[in-house]
Structure 1
């Protein structure tokens, strides 16, 4: 009897599930679910106005993707859940949200439904640009050597400018939340009950290094004294390598996906980076360009080098055993859509 895996891709406007035969690689069934809330860039669901350059999403949409697409591919194919041996996901990044210790998003709490900072900050949320500018200035002034790993500049789309903006504009949200998590890791948490951070987003989006860890408390304290212990206070959970099993499907998640409890679930990944092994790149010196809302260019190497202008280099950030180099353009498909 053939065995199958399911991959779920979370994009900017929709989520897609694909059911694949592990022996042949054939795509047996595909299902797409459009996010009901789409991208919130002018108002929240209750009408609260958003400022310029905001881009938010609602985490309920991500759970609904699982509940609609996975049962659909099972129905289309007629495949038994007994024959599905694993589930993998990928996500846009850096797409982040504040949650409680049990994983509950703050926007699910009645008292914060009108607070924009309680929602998911989508990868293309650019309202933290002033924080990114200040972070880069301070890093240069302090001579932080990690800055060169990111081409000399940290983007406003990444973890710490967004987190700093949240702290400054909504300190009550910062105090209330227990974790600030990548959506890529949050959906795995919801499926398995296991909280972990994937090495890809930690490395490319949160200034984490496999050997050196995060920047120092001194650096974060120089941004804002309240951020001195940000790693311990808001990011404190294990970081797992790509390709590893994160956990198994819980009884609750099995009910809304239609899969069996105990089905293996992989560590989360990023929507572009996950494509490298899919196109059979398994070594250095081959570049992959993923074109969509944005465009990412990825290349594997056997040594770590700093390259001016690149987005980042991360050990094991794309494939285990290699240094993954990333560059690209943030506005591509969006630009064409604007025309």
Structure 2
């Protein structure tokens, strides 16, 4: 099987043996355009604050470059590959024509014609209105999203396009998640997966929000669900099937076979989200197993056999992680991005000289790890990319309290690490207070390579951390889904048990440090509640945007 993970800055492919999940070869392709945040490619057209776009050409190049390289590295003959699965960041969404052509290919000078990356937060005012109107009307779907729809999701981003560039909105015959668009390119058949439709597209209990609600947002928004073209699972709406996870979307087309070097006609799995497929890679697809995929941001996903309303969650969707269970999602908008921002912006040159070949993150980590808990005297709020859960407000911003003239870079670095752990504890506690127990906390993603950070999380959470057994969690998870789609396994649970892996209780909390962190977490909660109303932070952001 081949699994392809489309990330924020790069795409990676892995070749996996169906019999045991062994990873035989992998390759990474860095996106030529990366994250488009300031100006459009090959243009002087500037973007506004909080914009984040991507180029579909980068995604196609992953298929052309990374997949053949991974197969070559594996020593496996292309003819031995029986299926391919893919996953994507979400909500990464694009406007396209009815045949799937991205509008940015036709009008590259129009910012709203480009795909909006998951961390495009410029639609926050539109999300605010979506939530205000829904709350006033008592829309039944709103509690399924913790009481608030994020500015990262499909409806807020589409409403922004409608109201800021109605011509692009009118030309967009499809508003489609990149997770589904890439599958369309692979097999030539348009489909929509139940995961992104539910979590990112407000599709609940077989329908979208009602027309009169959409009309109240904007009269021209009333037919927006027609651009999503999804209906009941297995049924069609607008001629497009809403497909269950682990299902087959079709077979590899001749065009995609030429791109990838794989045989035409092999199975193409239904699209999915990077975080959600990772649960299978960690063999964490049973109720109560929360998987935190920790990278530039963190997504927390967990299957459950019960439905509850969890304040500030990203969503709960039936069959959203594995068929037959409710799937919960929450998240933190920035984690690794916070550490990278600090290192890139605020560390003095003398530290870079001292770090040498060790690298700045490793050097700061080594200095921070020498401190006892609380020595730096700081508390930070992890809102440098806004707050995804539990406040669902991307106009919030980061806060650091307690700095003095004696504060050093390693102090701030440790406080930022701890702040993300406090944010994760807030999420776990919110789930458990809502009657959804977290039985096991499983970590995946690039940040698990930092043992100090993992130990901080174990101490702050006061619980053991299990860790995934693969450095390519999403790509492995996509390969597992492809194995199910190709018929090698009966369902995702069976495939995950054989092909997925994790180490239980790899990090265990230290009681003394955990007690010390309890005191600091109480201060974090106080700071969280004080600034969480957004009044001060919103005013500052408005002043910045005006300037």
TM-score (structure 1 length as normaliser): 0.96
Secondary structure of residue in 2 paired with 1:120: coil
Query: Please, which runs of 5 or more residues in structure 2 have no aligned partner?
Result: 230-237, 343-547
Matches within 5 A, 1:35-74: 35-45=31-41, 46-74=43-71
Query: In 1, Cα distance between the equivalents of 2:255 and 2:324?
Result: 35
The Cα shift of 1:113 comes to 1.1
- Residue 218 of structure 2 corresponds to residue 227 of structure 1: no
Q: 2:256 aligns with which of 253, 258, 261?
A: 253
Select the structure that is richer in helix. 2
The aligned length equals 332
Select the structure that is richer in strand. 1
- Residue 194 of structure 2 corresponds to residue 199 of structure 1: yes
Q: What is the match of residue 121 of structure 1?
A: 116
The Cα shift of 1:269 comes to 0.6
Q: Structure 1 residues 254-263 or 279-288, which shifts more?
A: 279-288
Secondary structure of residue in 1 paired with 2:85: strand
Q: What is the match of residue 341 of structure 2?
A: 338
Query: In 1, Cα distance between the equivalents of 2:282 and 2:74?
Result: 24
Secondary structure of residue in 2 paired with 1:287: strand
Q: Deviations over 1:253-310 (max 9, x none)?
A: 1011100110100000100111111111232122111111111112211122111121
Q: What is the match of residue 32 of structure 1?
A: 28
Q: 1:82 aligns with which of 59, 79, 83?
A: 79
Query: Please, which runs of 5 or more residues in structure 1 have no aligned partner?
Result: none
Preserved CA contact (<8 Å) 2:71 2:78: yes
Query: In 2, Cα distance between the equivalents of 1:282 and 1:149?
Result: 21
Q: What is the match of residue 311 of structure 1?
A: 314
- Residue 326 of structure 2 corresponds to residue 323 of structure 1: yes
The Cα shift of 1:233 comes to 4.2
Q: What is the match of residue 288 of structure 1?
A: 291
The Cα shift of 1:217 comes to 0.7
Could you say which structure has the larger radius of gyration?
2
Query: In 2, Cα distance between the equivalents of 1:243 and 1:40?
Result: 32
Q: What is the match of residue 166 of structure 2?
A: 171
The Cα shift of 1:238 comes to 2.1
Query: In 2, Cα distance between the equivalents of 1:140 and 1:25?
Result: 46
The Cα shift of 1:14 comes to 0.2
Query: In 2, Cα distance between the equivalents of 1:212 and 1:99?
Result: 24
Q: What is the match of residue 444 of structure 2?
A: none
TM-score (structure 2 length as normaliser): 0.60
Query: In 2, Cα distance between the equivalents of 1:285 and 1:165?
Result: 36
Q: Deviations over 1:116-148 (max 9, x none)?
A: 011110000011110001111000111111111
Matches within 5 A, 1:86-101: 86-101=83-98
